Every structure is written in C-alpha cells, then in structure tokens.
Amino acid sequence: MLAQAGAGLGARWCTALCLAVLCVAPLCLVPFRPAAAAAPGATPPGAAAPGPAPGARPATAQATATVGTAPVRLVVLGDSLSSGYGLPHADSFEVQLAAALAAQGARVRIVDAAVSGDTSADGLARLDWVLDGLRDGSGPLAALVELGANDGLRGLPVADMRRNLAAILDRLAARHIPVLLAGMYAPPNMGPGYEQRFRAVYAALGARPGVIYEPFFLAGVARVPGLVQADGLHPNPAGVHRVVAEVLPYVQRLIARAETPTAGRTARE
C-alpha cells in the first residue's frame, strides 16, 4: 500500500516519521515503563541507554477481571505503535486490546514490553530480560511481536532486520512460546526495491511453522485521515480502535494456542 504512494505522500510520510522518532527517542532509555507513566524529558544525543535495574521486572497489566485459573500472559514486544505514543493511557493499543479481549471473555494479562523508538535490534537485545522476568509468574505465555517500523524509517539493512526478527522468533520457539508476528511496510520514499525486500521479510518469517502472521499492523489506518495523529503516522484513539479490531482475530488464535501449547508447536498457520 505504502509503495503505491506518490512522491508527495512519500516525502510527507518520511518527514512525519522523522519527527515521530525524534520525539520518542528519549523513551528508548527506559526498557520498560509502567503503563500510565509519562514520557521522560529530552536526553542529550549519544547518551547511553542504561540497562534494567537489578531485580526489575516487566510491567504487567490485568486485562480481565475473570476469576479462575491463571490467565495467559500476552507479551507485547513492540515500538511506539503499540506503546501508546501520543495518547492518553486509556486510549493506548494495549488497553484497548485488553478491553476487547475482556469483552470476549478471554483470560489474558497484557505484559507491556513496547518501547517507543525501538528497532528490531533493540527488541532482540531486551527479549531475554523480558522473558526471564516472567519466569516466576503463573499462567502460559504468548507473544505479539510488532517491530520493524523504525528499521524502515532509518533505512537500515533489510538483511539485518530479518536476522533480528528471526532470532526473536527462534528464542520464543525455544521456550515454546506461541507468537503472533505483525507485519510492517517501509516508507515509500525508500524506493520500490527496498519496500519489496522489506515486506518479503515478514512474508517469509510469517510462513514459518507455528507462527501466526498478520501482514500489516496498520491495515486500514496508515495515512487515513481521521485515524492518525497530527504526525501522520501514529494512530489516534479511533485509529487504535481500528487496529485492535483488525488484530483481534489473530490474537484470539494466539491465546487459544497458548492455552493448549502442545497443539501449536508443530502446526502451521
């Protein structure tokens, strides 16, 4: 879809993306934030990102009030598109997804592992810390991987992104954690060749046995007036509602697989 945009739209898309990343880059210094925390202040360029505090664990939010056996813990490993950048907490993707799952009677707890500004390399770098922090909890694990938008914005090598995403899927598979991979499109100004290689990464990884695949996380939302914020990229509350509606059937399949893990280890979606 983005590849078909005209040069004017491509330039606007690139400019909006650049502004968005410059605005959210300070959040990269906080590996995990409580769901209601405000964005920190600006950080000098080149400042090193500190590691997680000793004994710290990922933030976890209850998605439903259902009483019963331990709920599925859904790890959202993503960037600003899933972290709720620019939105009140109540309108963020994770909160709206939790509400949609609760309305369906699902027993799910959302684990906030989305950090604004993250690339696929950043997500890979902190994945083990996220999972290790959940070892002592109860309930099966599942993961939604939403990464790559910032790789495309920065024009990072597609081969590197593929290695990073593949390594994330490998580590999740090694722990028998079912995964939903959300696809992303590169900005059209990167050229048709880059865009085609970019999309091909997700198509190939999404075809892996056991991986549930949604081709485009922003389907029906990207560049649609009335569904994006002023930066032209991040969904507004109505846009998040549309994203959740599109991703919900995939997440429901993911939750079902997590609840019966042995049935999903060799199945091909």
The answer to whether residue 48 is domain-embedded is no
The answer to whether residue 88 is domain-embedded is yes
Structural contact between residues 224 and 239, judged by C-beta atoms closer than 8 angstroms: yes
Token couple for 110: 């959302």
Q: How do residues 198-211 score in pLDDT, each as one tens digit? A: 999 999 999 999 99
Q: How do residues 82-133 score in pLDDT, each as one tens digit? A: 999 999 999 999 999 999 999 999 999 999 999 999 999 999 999 999 999 9
What range defines the domain where residue 9 resides? 2-28+59-263
Instruction: Report the catalytic residues.
Output: 80, 231, 234
Structural domain total, the chain: 1
CATH number, residue 18: 3.40.50.1110
Provide the b/e sequence for 141-170 (b: ≥16 CB within 10 Å): bbbbbbbbbbbbbeebebeebbebbbebbe
Q: Among 58-62, 160-164, 193-197, 260-264, where is mean pLDDT lowest?
A: 58-62
The larger pLDDT score, comparing residue 60 to residue 20, is at 60
Distance, CA of 237 to CA of 88 (rounded, Å): 9
Band of pLDDT at residue 138, cut at 50, 70 and 90: confident
